[in-house]
Structure 1
Amino acid sequence: MSPDRRTGRSESTVGEPPVGTEEQEREVLSQGRKYLLLAVFCLGVFIDVMGVCAFYILTGPVALDLDIRFEAQTWIITSFAVTFAAFLLFWGRVSDLYSPTPVFAYGFLTLGILNLVISFQTNAYAFLILRAISGIAGSCLIPASYRLISAVFNADELPRAFTIYGLCGSLGASLGVPIGGLVELIRADGQLSGWRWYFRITTVLIVPISLWSLKAFPKQRGEAASDTNKWKRLDVPGTLLMLVAILLLILGLTLGASYGFGTASFLAPFLISLPLFPLFFYWQSRLSADLALVPSNTWKIPNFTLWTVLAIFTSAWWTCNQVPQIEVFVRERGDSSIIAAMRILPEGISSLACSGILIAFPIICSYPRYTYTFGQIGGMAAYVLFIYSDGQVGTQYWKFGFTGATIGSFCNNVAATSVIVGAMTTSPPSQAGVVGAILQTAIQAGNAIALAVQAGLLTIHPGGIEDWANVRASFWFMFAWGGACLVGFHIFYRAPILDGKGKRVVVTH
């Protein structure tokens, strides 16, 4: 076992397929060019995440304009999120087998065009259908970006690159609400409504950059670029199994949150989805590593199963404190959308400050035993402050809400980045697309699970969100979940293997 002289990677090659073409065809790029490409990847993940979080504020205006009844309003958010999560693994496999460049560029271009079309919609069903299709386009960006980052940067540069990329996803989660609030300041009716301008502004950002990326990105080839059995290696049956399983799971949780967890709307899709997951893994175990959608050796990557489980909590930290607080501020306190967004803004500013520190000192995330512990404890402490804020009325907001948002968002960003960097820097480049897709699928599933559980907890006492005791119960759930993640991390985490020069060994099987 010895370090690769071209990339600095130390790899065990036992049982590994022929050397990936990305190592043989790595283009020599200047540092400026590398970070310009990284900026495009970061824009993609930022817009993807913001496309969900901004609508915590914009859901009301959209529902009002398109006459969407209250029970169905959640689909303004989840129509995008469901298809986004369901197609991540598929695009991860396509990126690994074929080429990530067209997957990213054409997916980004399609997202931009769809956003423009959505901005003119006046029919609720057309809006929701197009949002769902745009989720498919948006899901192209994540696994393709992971694959391209692994191809563009050398091994010693990957911690900084993945730190920056992961932080941009976290920034999308923490800044999405304030951005949605700013867009809502556009006070106009009809085709000039603020939410319509959100889609138009993102189109202006996306389309030119996506066209440029077709020409500027490295012409990266995947494992199966010259393989005559491409369709077999794409694993269509496995893709369909996982696609249906994720769709039904998130569909069931969403419908349960809207209509009740004792209804057929929840039970039917949820119960059907449960056996599909073990069936998928059974199917994968029957296939050789080069034919499986998720090769069995992926789960042998050091700590990867642990990182995947921990990723479920990362984005949910923001989602489950922002959604109920916005509802309380707008519906109970009578705040306008922009004032509610400004109350959440400390989370975005704190997350941005954290990003600056971690980008300047990327080595921090190379020690996850310390950074994840620090981040998780800080995030849990923030929920304790939220719990005892007593509805954040008056000075209670500054004592508890503001303090919790500032401390918690900073710390959770550290923990979330540690998870992403830890997983990606120990994964072989040939599996970067699928590994990144699995992580993002876990994150999206975590949001759906957290919101569903929170919806149930908000009905413990009469009055729903009007009774702060219900909100407090949902925050205690998040505190307990965070604590379970922390305990599990210290039980199951294993320090990475280092070579003679102190570099991490990327083990492939």
Structure 2
Amino acid sequence: MAIADDVPGDGTSTKVGTEDATPSWGFKAWAMLVVVCGAFSLDALDNIMVGIAVPQIKADLGMTTASAQWVVSAYVLGFGGFLLLGGRMSDLLGRRRVFLAGLAILAAGSLLGGVSTDGFLVIVSRFVMGLGAAMTAPSALSIIISAFPEGPQRNRALGIYTACGAFGYSTGVIVGGLLTELSWRWTFMLPVPVAIAALVGGVLLIPRDPARGTGKRSYDVAGAVTVTAAMLLLVYVIVEAPTAGWLSGRTLGGAAVAVLLLAAFAVIESRSAEPLLRLGLLRNKGLVGASLIAAAILGTYMSYQFIGGLYLQTYRGWSPLEMALAFLPIGLLIMFFAPRAGKLLGRIGIPWMIFGGMLAYTIAFFLFLRVGDTSSYWAVVLPSMILIGAGFPFAFTAANVQATSGVAESEQGLAAGILQTGYQVGAAVVLAVVTAQMATGGSTDEEAITLSGYHSGVWVIIVVAGVSALLTVVAAIAARRGGTGTGTSREPAAAETAPKQPVTES
């Protein structure tokens, strides 16, 4: 079949192509994809730049190590806390509308951080940016899922989506290093025009959301309040646990309240006529499994980046630019492999793709244990970077495909929000555990962390990656015996009742 030349702007939700083995898209389809993926690139660009700049922010604003950690953690708090709400908002209020609003919030938060002269305001700006990302991430992914049909078309689009994120990482390490050499403020200011450009492109190129019925519609306000409060509190407890103590009254009490809020949310959803989260969606094993893998993918990578950054900058005395160049191979390899990962999905299956990625991760982290006082970058550090860069696009692309397969059109935003929540909560949990494990004598000051402290943190990452690899190979074997080859689990109630979308042919 021929592929539609464009993405319609008449309010209909139309696929841009059919499941041809060799998909070909028109200019408007490509332009829309570039704009949507640009938001993902912006998230990656911003995260890597600010991550590189944290030591300079800490020194310039006189922040403690514990408060400087919140420059990273506040973003995770805003992102992870509002993701489910952001995902459902994109389904109820319109994906385009929520996507554009998220970009505007992201730009405002970045501008606030760039002009702040107080560490607290920088932390607040990062929270605002996380809130904006919580709106753009699920809406961007659901826009792609809705525009490209399940199969080769969607796999290819998601591969490009992954590559665009890698572009942000690969350019972010260089740009972040260069800008930090001038001033850390430029790492906040640069995303402002990028977000504005994406906002303008979104207004012009993303199709308008389908017209919604004129009848009065109820919204699950109680569910939105309880789940957002629960996620905010849960992420806060996790990132504060290394400082407060894992068994302290504050940590245990906060965790207990978060659990109670989640229980209240479940009760509210079971009784709501139009729930924020249809609980039956959680019976989709593919979605739940992909979200858990997502937690391991980003949790181990962010922790590795945290340890690697401290090791190279603080322990070895490298400059921000030198550290940026050290991490550059990861982004370049992801850019190379990600567009090709989609083609492999249909050949070897989702579970084997995830297993391959997590196995590469595990080996990479084992190799990083060799770092010492005078370790060679080329012989000791670079091999880990290569394996991570090769493994990430396999696991990441496969997890995205698995999470959204067989989910109803009306719940794609929510499914994307659940998946993204897995990424962000995983990052918060694993990083918090790694930080606690790295501490020497109860100190969280990086100057007090010895080389053995770095090794201890890496062992935590190895365990998480290794267990994930083991579980995915079990899933892969089970899928092969079952004859599916994909490992996805479809929930009939959600998928089979989804409205069919028209396909435009030319």
- TM-score under structure 2 normalisation? 0.84
Give yes or no for the alignment of 1:266 onto 2:251. yes
Work out the CA distance in 1 between the residues paired with 2:216 and 2:422.
30
Q: Is the 8 A contact 1:365 1:421 kept in 2?
A: no
Structure 2 residue ranges without an equivalent (≥5): 5-9, 18-24, 495-506
Query: Alpha-carbon deviation of 1:264?
Result: 4.9
Say which of 268, 271, 284 aligns to 1:286. Answer: 271
1:326 aligned residue: 309
Give yes or no for the alignment of 1:83 onto 2:71. no
Give yes or no for the alignment of 1:163 onto 2:147. no
Q: Is the 8 A contact 1:301 1:507 kept in 2?
A: no
Say which of 225, 230, 243 aligns to 1:240. Answer: 225
Q: Is the 8 A contact 2:102 2:135 kept in 1?
A: yes
Residues 371 and 23 of structure 1: CA distance in aligned 2, closer, same or farther (over 3 Å): farther
Q: Is the 8 A contact 1:424 1:436 kept in 2?
A: yes
Structure 1 residue ranges without an equivalent (≥5): 1-5, 8-21, 187-193
Give yes or no for the alignment of 1:184 onto 2:180. yes
The correspondence of residues 140-151 of structure 1 with structure 2, limited to 5 A, is: 140-151=135-146
Q: Is the 8 A contact 2:88 2:276 kept in 1?
A: yes
Work out the CA distance in 2 between the residues paired with 1:53 and 1:261.
28
Greater Cα shift, 244-253 or 62-71 = 62-71
Residues 391 and 28 of structure 1: CA distance in aligned 2, closer, same or farther (over 3 Å): closer
Work out the CA distance in 2 between the residues paired with 1:69 and 1:470.
19
Look up the equivalent residue of 1:239 and give its one-letter code: A
Query: Alpha-carbon deviation of 1:492?
Result: 4.7
Give yes or no for the alignment of 1:408 onto 2:388. yes
Give yes or no for the alignment of 1:26 onto 2:18. no
Greater Cα shift, 259-268 or 323-332 = 259-268
- TM-score under structure 1 normalisation? 0.84
Work out the CA distance in 2 between the residues paired with 1:38 and 1:366.
26
Say which of 241, 255, 258 aligns to 2:240. Answer: 255
Give yes or no for the alignment of 1:52 onto 2:40. no
Work out the CA distance in 2 between the residues paired with 1:477 and 1:356.
31
Give yes or no for the alignment of 1:369 onto 2:348. no
2:184 aligned residue: 195
Question: 1:228 aligns to what SS in structure 2?
Answer: coil
Q: Is the 8 A contact 2:15 2:148 kept in 1?
A: no
1:393 aligned residue: 374
Greater Cα shift, 292-301 or 80-89 = 292-301
Greater Cα shift, 441-450 or 316-325 = 316-325
1:383 aligned residue: 365
Say which of 440, 447, 452 aligns to 2:420. Answer: 440
* Number of residue equivalences: 472
1:215 aligned residue: 204
Look up the equivalent residue of 1:160 and give its one-letter code: R
1:417 aligned residue: 397
Give yes or no for the alignment of 1:106 onto 2:106. no
1:64 aligned residue: 59
Query: Alpha-carbon deviation of 1:35?
Result: 1.8
Residues 175 and 238 of structure 1: CA distance in aligned 2, closer, same or farther (over 3 Å): farther
1:11 aligned residue: none
1:474 aligned residue: 457
Question: 2:181 aligns to what SS in structure 1?
Answer: coil
Q: Is the 8 A contact 1:365 1:418 kept in 2?
A: no
Q: Is the 8 A contact 1:374 1:411 kept in 2?
A: yes
Work out the CA distance in 2 between the residues paired with 1:404 and 1:427.
36
Q: For each residue in 1:170-190, what CA deviation from the matched residue of structure 2 results, as whole angstroms up to 9, or x when unmatched?
A: 55456644442232132xxxx
Query: Alpha-carbon deviation of 1:451?
Result: 0.9
1:3 aligned residue: none
Work out the CA distance in 2 between the residues paired with 1:433 and 1:39.
19
Q: Is the 8 A contact 2:36 2:202 kept in 1?
A: no
Greater Cα shift, 35-44 or 23-32 = 23-32
Work out the CA distance in 2 between the residues paired with 1:473 and 1:356.
35
Greater Cα shift, 343-352 or 259-268 = 259-268
Question: 2:115 aligns to what SS in structure 1?
Answer: coil
Residues 261 and 52 of structure 1: CA distance in aligned 2, closer, same or farther (over 3 Å): farther
Alignment root-mean-square deviation, CA = 3.1
2:468 aligned residue: 485
Give yes or no for the alignment of 1:228 onto 2:215. yes
Query: Alpha-carbon deviation of 1:433?
Result: 0.3
Look up the equivalent residue of 1:248 and give its one-letter code: L
Q: Is the 8 A contact 2:288 2:403 kept in 1?
A: no
Q: Is the 8 A contact 1:178 1:342 kept in 2?
A: yes
Q: Is the 8 A contact 2:297 2:358 kept in 1?
A: no
Work out the CA distance in 2 between the residues paired with 1:505 and 1:248.
31
Give yes or no for the alignment of 1:456 onto 2:441. no
